[in-house]
Amino acid sequence: MRFLTAGESHGQRLVAMLDGVPAGVPIDVAAIDRDLRRRQLGYGRGARQRIERDQVRIVGGVRHGRTTGGPIALEIDNRDAPNWERVMSVEPVIDPPAPVTRLRPGHADLAGALKFGHSDVRDVIERSSARETAARVAAGGVAKALLALVGTRVQSEVVAIGSVESAPTWDEAAVEASEVRSGDARRSAEMIAAIAAARDAGDTLGGMVALRATGVVPGLGSYAEWDRRLDGRIAQALCSIQAAKGMEFGDAFAAARERGSAVHDPIVLEGGRFARTRNRAGGLEGGVTNGNDIECRVAFKPISTLMKPLPSVDLATGEAAPAHVERSDVCVIPAAGVVAEAMLAIVLTEALLEKFGTDDAETLVASVERYRARLHPLGKRQGQGGGDLTEMP
């Protein structure tokens, strides 16, 4: 499976295209819309979220609620687009708007202008904007629907905003009821206060999101080539999200300071099945899923656009100038978790289809069930008086 997105922040719409999705996957448009709405919520979001009411429109690849096996095309209209018609016109305009030339530190403005030779940073701003993540969330909704067929589910929870930290509760009701998507009520209140203080100071805040995928099929990914290792692919996908600057599997950064005897996850036998007494590896060993939950964290920097702009330089004149101020958020960490869910779901779906490549969902599910049965033959063999681990495949 592969996917692409297109569209600009203030263009007519965003588009996502997925190719390689098997036929027969049930698609619930309302479920995708719920994720799109979750992406727009959260304390610290800006005025743009009061304008947009994101809803997906599927224009290809789905019929009567199920995928057809053809490419799936998803569209999300930008309701704010009419206010930007002259600025974002596809055709040349007689009286073009003044170019944006004051560069924002921390944003793609300067790097993008240098790369593509733009004299108007608007051409960078529109595509590098995190508005693009709405298309990712829509594509992730399709991936989640496919993963659900094999019992895999992806969750996220905010575990830090600024200096306020919490442990994940994985209490879905509490997380979704929180304005900052933290299941810890006390820490939620402290996070909200931190965001409010940053807003009053004309500043922004970053933070950290925890992710968990349960019911993951073991054996996804590969140790045989560097680019097939699933931990590397997940890291690339998560770090591709706007403002993401780092991630870890399990508690990797704490584990880096400890001895191996305390870090690695002992293997035991429970009910004829291989299991582990802990999950500090985060569900991956050698670039391959090991049957434990995938657990990871993603760190996001503060939003680059500041209401009290940092010193910068004008792209056109080279003179010192305050950074451009674009309508923006104070904190996007609650929304970033929803985007991270989508990206993790997409990568897991790609890996699942690579291992069980098929054209239809029914065959995929049957293949996964046969594979899972093959992974756990110990109970049967021990019942026959076997139990010699050296006989296991």
Q: Please state, in angstroms and rounded to a whole number, the distance separating the CA atoms of residues 190 and 205.
A: 13
CA 170 to chain centre: 17
Question: How far is 148 from 73, CA to CA, in rounded Å?
Answer: 21
What pLDDT was estimated at residue 47?
54
Residue 52 has a pLDDT of 63
Backbone angles phi, psi at 30, to 5 degrees: -60, -35
Q: Angle 333-355/133-148 helices, nearest 10 degrees? A: 50
Q: Identify the pLDDT of residue 306.
A: 86
* pLDDT in the model for residue 307: 84
* pTM, 2 dp: 0.93
CB 106, CB 95: distance < 8 Å: no
Instruction: Please report where in the chains the tokens 């899923």 appear, as a residue.
Output: 289
Cβ contact 303:203 at 8 Å: no
SS3 286: coil
User: Which pLDDT belongs to residue 274?
Assistant: 86
CATH number among 3.60.150.10, 3.30.9.10, 1.20.140.10, 3.50.50.60, domain 2-375: 3.60.150.10
What stretches in the chain show pLDDT beneath 50? 379, 382-393
Torsion sign across C-alpha atoms 248, 376, 357, 33: negative
Question: What are the tens digits of pLDDT across the range 301-355?
Answer: 999 888 888 899 999 999 999 999 877 789 999 999 999 999 999 999 999 999 9
Question: What b/e string do you get for 310-344 counting C-beta neighbours within 10 Å, with b at 16 or more?
Answer: eebbebeeeeebebbebebbbbbbbbbbbbbbbbb
Tokens of 212: 């968990």
pLDDT at 356: 95
What is the largest distance, in Å, between two alpha-carbon atoms of the chain? 86
